[in-house]
Structure 1
């Protein structure tokens, strides 16, 4: 929750496509590494722009 709704200074949303790209690139990593990669991508995208929502993630991997 709140990940795809994260906005940058131009009020552009992080969106589903950016999230999907991060998940495709990190699917082989551990859940903790995936969470860290998603947060890093969102933070790089949003920069210092204030956010209107909290960010919640759950990563479950099937082995």
Structure 2
């Protein structure tokens, strides 16, 4: 599950193009197999690439929750929740 504020989808680049929920969904879909922390980082990295040097005018809040099957989680695996 990915929860986000409008500051992510409405973030604009220097050409005033918004990041948009389509791009957010695309990045999450491309990285769904990763941990919650890695999915979060992939979204943030892509968002920063999109924004470039443009000033951020809104909050950027992102919560990634990932369900883990009992008995499957490895001790070395990061927590299933990542918050920015």
Equivalent in 36, 42, 63 of residue 47 of structure 2? 42
Question: Structure 1 stretches of 5 or more lacking a match?
Answer: none
Q: What's the C-alpha RMSD, in Å, of the aligned pairs?
A: 0.7
Larger Rg: 2
Q: Which one has more relative contact order, counting CA pairs under 8 Å at least 6 apart?
A: 1
Deviation above 6 Å: which 4+ runs of structure 1? none
TM-score between the two structures when normalised by the length of structure 1: 0.94
The structure in which a higher percent of residues are strand is 2
Gap regions ≥5 residues in structure 2: 69-84
Query: Whose helix fraction is larger, Structure 1's or Structure 2's?
Result: 1
